Structure 1
């Protein structure tokens, strides 16, 4: 009766490579029963069972270091505690992966919107409220102070919120709407925060965009597009008997992720409005956006 298996025979049984068994031998995890005079590794038939334990634990994503400990402590109490610890690790991984998946869903929705945006379209819609954490005021995008403000701000925001897939936002004082280019006015950066995570941030740093009626449209960060956009927005409000009713909110839909050129950046501008009391024109229809 055959008492020993070659490394190739053991590898075939286990469904692993010869290299894996050699590595297990080198780290003292699973050693052959003997080494022949020819230097070949030979395994005993009864070593099947020990290898089965290793493969079971490896399939449960237990580290090789922890498998070492399992093999030295094979009793019900130790194994049960070890499996419970491993389950906790897996639960944490699932939670992390669900966050990543949510971010990917947001990015996919964002860039799908970006593919279909229309620079000529202006929309009147009802928007639900959203909460943001906000930066200090940024006076000039191109100076060193702005870089320092951005650095302090983004480093203070949790990465799962900063990279959630939702566009980075900007808040401009409503009075800037009547300037030649409100897009160049002092502003503050915004990062959207889900309601269940607001408690992680100082209340003084949180701002809420009110639910209400907004005029919105897309523009490119290029002076010709900006000027055209400003004129169309003001004409739209005048034509539809609307007036400004708060601050200006901007969302950066296209950033450096999808284009290396700053002038390709695409912003959505949202301006809260109300019906003007100066005229009695028919009100335009309002689109509902959740």
Structure 2
């Protein structure tokens, strides 16, 4: 469509901002940065724009919306494409990274939408012996202070190194604690690591890996509170003594869901020891 030049009129800065669904402050900033200049500036400093400038402005706003810098936008709009190549490559890399991030978010959401229903969780504080499959976990550094502050610090450090989205996915999580079953009272002083199952993708991070071997385990489902865990440990200790079982000294604390609510734990979980 063409417009009769005689019908053209100048737009005030507020009018152009409204037409482009942006702000007056944004247009002033773009002018000061040499990115988008008004068609005319009056002797008193008022900025005026032509209707034809709207399309250029909306292109700029669109590029800003996807996160490109002012320098990158200037390069994209530059007439000299050779000088713009580094900026264009940087912009392309940023867009590619954004696409990959969105694809990962989409995969996590799809995973949560399509995950199969969980089997009945099991009775609380009723130890059993079960044969479990092997699993590989990313693990945090070892911590020895089981205070709320230390757990929060370790949790933050671990998931920042791993991936913020890892907290949302349905992979198994929990803790590995150095605690013999015969010492339930030593739980609060025992060293521990945070765990997150790799789901077969161990090369995505530089975090150390630890393998939970397949085999027979003695385990009990508990409420993930200090009282609940202590009760569960006492039940396991008594069960092992009565049955003549000889568990390892590594306590696997496995969350039974993916909705972490406090101190990196779900409301309920499993306490597990591998059997010799």
TM-score by length of 2: 0.62
Residue in structure 2 matching 1:187, options 178, 191, 195: 191
**Quick check: 2:124–2:222 contact (8 Å CA) kept in 1?**
yes
Q: 1:271 offset after TM fit, Å? A: 1.5
1:58 aligns with 2:64: yes
Structure 1 residues 3 and 214 mapped into 2: Cα distance closer, same or farther (>3 Å)?
Answer: same
Quick one: distance in 2 between partners of 1:52 and 1:159? 36
CA RMSD of aligned residues (A): 4.8
Query: Among 195, 209, 212, which residue is 2:212 paired with?
Result: 209
* Partners of 1:161 and 1:192 within 8 A in 2: no
The structure-2 alpha-carbon separation of the partners of 1:191 and 1:246, relative to structure 1 and needing over 3 Å to count, comes to same
1:268 alignment counterpart: 270
Matches within 5 A, 1:1-290: 1-7=6-12, 8-11=14-17, 13-36=19-42, 39-44=45-50, 46-48=52-54, 50-51=56-57, 53-71=59-77, 73-77=78-82, 82-96=87-101, 119-122=124-127, 124-133=130-139, 135=141, 138=144, 141=146, 159-161=160-162, 164-165=166-167, 167-172=173-178, 176-179=180-183, 181=185, 183=187, 186-192=190-196, 194=198, 195-197=201-203, 200=206, 206-216=209-219, 217-223=221-227, 225-226=228-229, 228-234=231-237, 236-237=239-240, 243-251=245-253, 253=255, 258-259=261-262, 268-273=270-275
Q: Aligned partners of 2:253 and 2:86: how far apart in 1? A: 49
Residues 24 and 2 of structure 1, relative CA distance in 2, 3 Å threshold: farther
**What SS does the aligned partner of 1:28 have?**
coil
Could you tell me whether the CA contact under 8 Å between 1:168 and 1:192 is conserved in 2? yes
Q: CA 1:61 to 1:172, structure 2 compared with 1: closer, same or farther past 3 Å? A: closer
1:27 to 1:80, Cα distance in 2 relative to 1, 3 A: closer
Give the superposition deviation at 1:25: 2.6
**Structure 1 residue ranges without an equivalent (≥5):** 275-290
In 2, distance between residues paired with 1:172 and 1:104? 34
3-state SS of the aligned residue for 1:47? Answer: helix
CA contact (8 A) 1:126 1:212 kept: yes
Q: Structure 2 unaligned segments of length 5 or more: list them.
A: 1-5
3-state SS of 1:177 partner: coil
Q: 1:184 to 1:29 in 2, by over 3 A?
A: closer
Report the count of equivalent residues. Answer: 252
Distance 1:178 1:15 in 2: 68
Tell me by how many angstroms 1:30 deviates.
1.8
Q: CA deviation at 1:13?
A: 4.6
1:265 shift after superposition: 8.1
- Cα deviation, residue 210, structure 1: 0.7
